[in-house]
Amino acid sequence: MSVCVPTYKRARSLEATLRSLLGQTVSDFEILVGDNSPDDESARAVSALGSGRIRHIRNETNVGMVENWNRLVRASRGDYVLIIHDDDRALPGLVEAERGALDGNPGAGFVHTAIEVVDEGGKVVERPRHYEGDHAFDAVATFKDLYLDNKVSCPTVMVRRECYDRTGLYDHSLPFAADWDMWLRIALAGYGSMFLSRPLLRNKVHAGSATSGFASARLDKLEHLKMLHKTYHSHLPALPVDRAEMGRLRRALRWKIAKVWTAEYYRSLRAFLFGRR
């Protein structure tokens, strides 16, 4: 089992993330740090922890978030792979619970959990509720649950390595939605998914986070639209459902694309006419 931590210029936060992993209820897993930083601060943070379980992989240049994920997956050795962000905190039991879920459900390609969203001071500001209780979905149900919206918190996802072997790695052309694309590809490869309703990760949202950066540049909406188009043209035709169900899914997806496109069009028009974003 492998836990991967991509990082970029966030040594202090990285150290806290690694401590949360070293303090898990099980210890029989490797920890890999994929370092995009231009300095040695992250390397020093890893060294200061003095744990032989952590492998530090320094990229010669900043290869970007998605390629950093891919390099970590390639370098990992475990049958299960979890990618957790360097500003998030694994709560006790995350690794053990997710491993147990995948062990107990061979048809599941990945498992994810509920989260607590915290501010920069560590105060819980939100507990997103996409589902009530634990759930297990087969492959078709997983796709149908996620094809219109990504309800999965990326840093909680533990994936079977064989899923990566079958689907390939994350798509560089979707820097904001590469995770969402991956969950759909795993479902199309015939794997189901699992959700654990107990919050097992604290997700920090702040001005320097990757999510906030994409949102401030409005890349989230553009990537959303691009992902919906890819789903319509590439993913949806491969779903093994009958003609009637395919027609219903296509209509729902066309409506979603139209809504997102229209909202973005009018936002851009308002900005052009009135100088507002």
Do the domain assignments include residue 152? no
Please give the pLDDT value at position 237: 96
Question: Rounded to whole angstroms, how far apart are CA atoms 196 and 191?
Answer: 17
Helix (H) / strand (E) containing 79: none
Measured CA angle at 174 (ends 36, 210), to 5 deg: 45
**Two tokens at 241?**
């459902």
Do the domain assignments include residue 39? yes
CATH number of the domain residue 53 falls in: 3.90.550.10
Helix (DSSP H) and strand (DSSP E) numbers for the chain: 10, 12
The tally of CA atoms less than 13 A away on the side-chain side of residue 130 is 17
Do the domain assignments include residue 241? yes
Please give the pLDDT value at position 276: 55
Do the domain assignments include residue 69? yes
Each residue of 189-227: b (16+ CB within 10 Å) or e? bebbbbbbeebbbbbbeeeebbbeebeeeeebbebbbbb
Do the domain assignments include residue 185? no
Provide the number of structural domains found in the chain. 2
Do the domain assignments include residue 70? yes
Q: Supply the range of the domain harboring residue 266.
A: 219-274
Do the domain assignments include residue 130? no
The pTM of this model reads: 0.90
Read off the DSSP letter of residue 91. P
Read off the DSSP letter of residue 78. -
Q: What is the mean pLDDT of each run of 10 residues along the chain (277 residues)?
A: 95 93 96 93 90 91 94 97 95 97 98 92 85 95 95 95 97 91 97 97 70 43 87 96 97 94 73 62
Q: Which of 87, 113, 147 is the last residue of a domain?
A: 87
Contact 94, 201 (CB under 8 A): yes
Question: Rounded to whole angstroms, how far apart are CA atoms 219 and 65?
Answer: 14
Q: Which of 38, 65, 87 is the last residue of a domain?
A: 87
Give the 3-state secondary structure of 94-154: HHHHHHHHHHHCCCEEEEEECCEEECCCCCEEECCCCCCCCEEECHHHHHHHHCCCCCCCH
What phi and psi, each to the nearest 5 degrees, are found at residue 71? Answer: -65, -40
Please give the pLDDT value at position 140: 97
Do the domain assignments include residue 43? yes
Cα distances from 191 to residues 16, 101, 183, 184, in angstroms, run 33, 14, 10, 10
Please give the pLDDT value at position 215: 41
Please give the pLDDT value at position 277: 52
Please give the pLDDT value at position 219: 45
Helix (H) / strand (E) containing 11: helix 11-22
Q: Which of 87, 102, 125 is the last residue of a domain?
A: 87
Measured CA angle at 164 (ends 163, 168), to 5 deg: 125
How many other C-beta atoms lie within 10 A of the C-beta of residue 40? 12
Please give the pLDDT value at position 220: 66
